[in-house]
Structure 1
């Protein structure tokens, strides 16, 4: 079955995690990073989750999941070490209208969480459709080595300069040509060396040379 790729905005959205172990902790941390409002259902928490709860970063229901708990949640992650409990929670959550991810049963999941690399606002994702998390991790390591922090710096610089350069490059064709040609090894190498001002000037110079008078 072909999957539909999408990046979700979770800021302020209610998300639930069933379980309080290491897998649950990974899910919770990613959700919090995305700005979600997280509720954890579990009798016990890892030290990391306990710290987040003490700091007010998540809500904790200190008991096992019960039927009726999962109304009004957008995403639900079933991450206990009991497959039967995960399956029942998934069924209840889907009946309540939530999208569900089941840690030990990808065939029951509505979505998968891809392995990913973050470079500032640049997000690179790798998914195997739940078929091989190990392969996804391997590919993530290889891609992370190839695309370093300089790509995030490049994206931030482009966002900064875009309004200025849009005025210099009047037509859509000129802008498309410029953005294609500006992503070169020299600009990225300057950013990799921490030479941000030089990289910025290079991009500005490229814009001058790309316009109708060049």
Structure 2
């Protein structure tokens, strides 16, 4: 982001426009609409600026620009037809700390003019940072058609009731949710239809109803959301809506930074960890935290990598919510097996190689290997997907071979699948642990075992980061 989008209060502030042509006239008119006191500095004036002068809307200084002319001004626009004059004005304004815009010279600007959709007091500004002003105007035109003129009246109504709502609903999270419902519901529809008095009456009733709900401690809610395997494009629409409406997001280590960037900026974020053998918050404390936050009237999102019901302990969390009477909704996510396999070009089933898939967790404590049905997992003509299998990979492969799986069975490990950091290591059940160790792989990972792994050489389409020392042109990279 090269330019920070801000809205300046120019009411009564002195603004200087250098130049007297049609571009200068347009900039002066925009500054006047924003409440600025405008002076145009130019030896001669074109017809458009002269008309504004005749209307008494601006002052005129008939001279060639000199740096000393900037004294007393709060903002400068250089719009003359003399490039050297515009450059001099930019340099002088920069030296004095005055915001300056140089028409068609974004590299000289400390601010740029956006394309504006005016529904005062509601304003929408679109800018390309000076790179493509025509594109910005095209987008502005689309927004003009999308936003009815009545949105200005709706903003005025919200402004009149803002203090009243704040006093009645002191919790920011509840207040925000209230406004979201009001501004997208019957009150807004009445205003847009021109029936403002009826809208005010509806808003009064809505405030009273929300205050009663607040006083009884209601409205808390928990969303159990699967964030998918990492790529933000794989987040479901339901998941996106939930995290953008959340007051609090309780998230795990496997949730990618790209997904977390989609969380509302003013939402609280609580890291729950959930790393093997090292949990920032133990599961029982996470369960209790969800209950506590919901009882405070907050909309809580419990955000988990992949799908919350596949090795995500989501069932334990909603069991607690049920016991405590907390309303909740489960938003499934794309599990790592589906997402990572697809991005690695490995079909989980194929009529020539595998007619079934088994999902198993490789996160085993010492001595637990006997708890898995190794004989079933070692059967041929199936695909075996192992979650959290990095730490115990050597032991897992040894057990599979000990129970009859051919050592030359293809096997692959995918690191940080579906993200731009994805790495793929391919080998066999016999040598995959050694290959992974040499590649310096770290969690999160997914292991896939079966003949379908060989298909990645033909079907691979996504390229992440090659393993250390690998040939970046090879399928394994």
The reply to whether residue 74 of structure 1 matches residue 67 of structure 2 is no
Find the aligned partners of 1:95 and 1:107 in 2 and give their Cα distance.
16
Find the aligned partners of 1:28 and 1:190 in 2 and give their Cα distance.
37
Q: TM-score, normalised by structure 1?
A: 0.89
Partner of 2:22: 22
Deviates more, 1:24-33 or 1:89-98: 89-98
Partner of 1:145: 145
Partner of 1:111: 111
Q: Larger C-alpha radius of gyration, 1 or 2?
A: 2
1:62-141 to structure 2, matched below 5 A, reads 62-141=62-141
> Residue 25 of structure 1: CA displacement?
0.6
Equivalent pair of 1:14/1:38 in contact (CA under 8 Å): yes
CA offsets, 1:50-93, max 9 Å, x none? 23223432221113223432233221111012222211222233
Q: TM-score, normalised by structure 2?
A: 0.42
Find the aligned partners of 1:77 and 1:193 in 2 and give their Cα distance.
40
Q: How many residues align?
A: 214
More helix by share: 1
| Secondary structure class of the residue paired with 1:111 | coil
Find the aligned partners of 2:127 and 2:207 in 1 and give their Cα distance.
37
**RMSD between aligned alpha carbons?**
2.1
Deviates more, 1:10-19 or 1:121-130: 10-19
> Residue 205 of structure 1: CA displacement?
2.3
> Residue 101 of structure 1: CA displacement?
0.7
Equivalent pair of 2:39/2:58 in contact (CA under 8 Å): yes
Equivalent pair of 2:115/2:125 in contact (CA under 8 Å): yes
Equivalent pair of 2:78/2:86 in contact (CA under 8 Å): yes
> Residue 168 of structure 1: CA displacement?
4.1
CA offsets, 1:92-150, max 9 Å, x none? 33233322111021111111111111212111111111111001101111111111222
Equivalent pair of 2:22/2:49 in contact (CA under 8 Å): no
Find the aligned partners of 1:176 and 1:146 in 2 and give their Cα distance.
24
Structure 2 residues without counterparts, runs of 5 or longer: 217-477
Partner of 1:176: 176
**In structure 2, do the counterparts of structure 1 residues 106 and 211 end up closer, same or farther at CA, with 3 Å as the change threshold?**
same
**In structure 2, do the counterparts of structure 1 residues 189 and 56 end up closer, same or farther at CA, with 3 Å as the change threshold?**
same
Equivalent pair of 1:17/1:24 in contact (CA under 8 Å): yes
Deviates more, 1:127-136 or 1:114-123: 114-123
Equivalent pair of 2:104/2:130 in contact (CA under 8 Å): no
| Secondary structure class of the residue paired with 1:15 | strand
